[in-house]
Amino acid sequence: MTPATSIEAVQRLLGYRFHQPRLLEEALTHKSYSNERRSRDRTQNERLEFLGDAVLSLVMSEYLAAEFPGSNEGGLSKLKAHLVSEASLAKAARRMKLGRLLRLGKGEELSKGREKHSLLADALEALIAAIYLDGGLEASRKFTLQVLEEELLATRAEQARPGMEDYKTQLQEVCQKRYESLPQYETVRESGPDHEKVFEVELTIQGVMRGIGRGRSKKEAEQMAAKEALTQLA
């Protein structure tokens, strides 16, 4: 964490308030910083990075198993490997400008450490662990899914491409048999810049809300809403 950036400011950026701010400092401290200090405090984030790797793996495994119930173990493992990869984590860390918050030694500063893939990915894992230790699994899960939202949306879009399972068609068949009517889809929100739009769709059946879906296109959002509705109606 740079001297000009307060713990309060960092917590606002992360959307999480720590009960133990020391954990936040540890998560944002690279070993190069502690190695250059003469005090006995040798705090650095490798311990949290180790734990964060495990927490991240659990959160992604839970998410993928729930989101893609029809996928086999091999398919889910492939998706998880992509989501927890150094490249994906570094990209997410850059979006939240994590690099400028880190405490680095002079050597890392000179070698552009704030832009390094490995350093950013490790710091994000450390943050996930810090929130886990401070607030529990649910707090860490919420933070992780929020930070990796763009990667998760992209994964869902890839899985919803032509040839994959068509939840809208399945739901239409269920509704015709059970209600003798069709589901209604309404786009209720659009967010993000034009080249990275995110759509939110609400699905109702006979006036009753049955699902909400989000995606990079209206089609994908409708598919996700239909999937949620099918889960409710099962």
The residue among 58, 44, 19, 22 whose CA lies nearest residue 122 is 44
Amino acid in the structure at residue 75: G
Question: 30-33 long-range contacts, Cβ below 8 Å, gap at least 24?
Answer: 30/102, 30/103, 30/104, 30/105, 30/108, 30/113, 30/119, 30/123, 32/104, 32/105, 32/107, 32/108, 32/113, 33/103, 33/104, 33/105, 33/108
Catalytic residue, from 53, 108, 134, 220: name it.
Answer: 53
Confirm or deny that 49 is annotated as ligand binding: yes
53 is known as an active-site residue: yes
The two structure tokens encoding residue 162: 């032509």
Tokens 């990209």 found at: 91
The reply to whether 125 sits in an annotated binding site is yes
Annotated active-site residue in 25, 125, 151, 200: 125
- What long-range pairs does 191-196 form, CB within 8 A, spacing at least 24? 196/150
* b/e map 4-43, b = 16+ CB within 10 Å: eeeeeebeeebebebeeeebbbbbbbbbbbbeeeeeeeeb
| 220 belongs to the catalytic site | no
Q: Is 122 annotated as a binding residue?
A: yes
End-to-end CA distance of the chain: 48
Bind-site residues: 49, 122, 125
Specify binding-site residues for Mg(2+): 49, 122, 125
Where in the sequence numbering do the catalytic residues fall?
A: 53, 125
